[in-house]
Amino acid sequence: MSSTSQPKPSRDRWNEIVVPTTRGLKDFFWKLVWFALLVLALASSGNNSRSTVQGDGHNQHQPPATTR
């Protein structure tokens, strides 16, 4: 029982499997980076507004106490 079909060269496998997989991974990681930047920007803006609203003392200047 001999097979008449020849095995595909590795170049076809490269173009059919490896290239689309790497493109998909690249797109996934770029989307992940943009999401992380968005979360970081929202978290940092939330921290700034919360500290000014609560008045935790970071933005208030108090002169040093003098002893006489």
- Give the global pTM: 0.50
How many whole angstroms separate alpha carbon 37 and alpha carbon 18? 29
How many whole angstroms separate alpha carbon 55 and alpha carbon 25? 45
pLDDT 10s digits, 7-64: 666 778 889 999 999 999 999 999 999 999 999 999 998 776 555 555 555 656 777 7
Q: Which token pair is 5? A: 């079909």
The pLDDT assigned to 9 comes to: 63
pLDDT 10s digits, 1-21: 556 776 666 778 889 999 999
Q: Cβ(47)–Cβ(40) under 8 Å?
A: no
Domain boundaries, the chain: 12-46
How many whole angstroms separate alpha carbon 48 and alpha carbon 39? 14
The pLDDT assigned to 60 comes to: 65
pLDDT tops 90 at residue 68: no
Rg (CA), the chain: 30
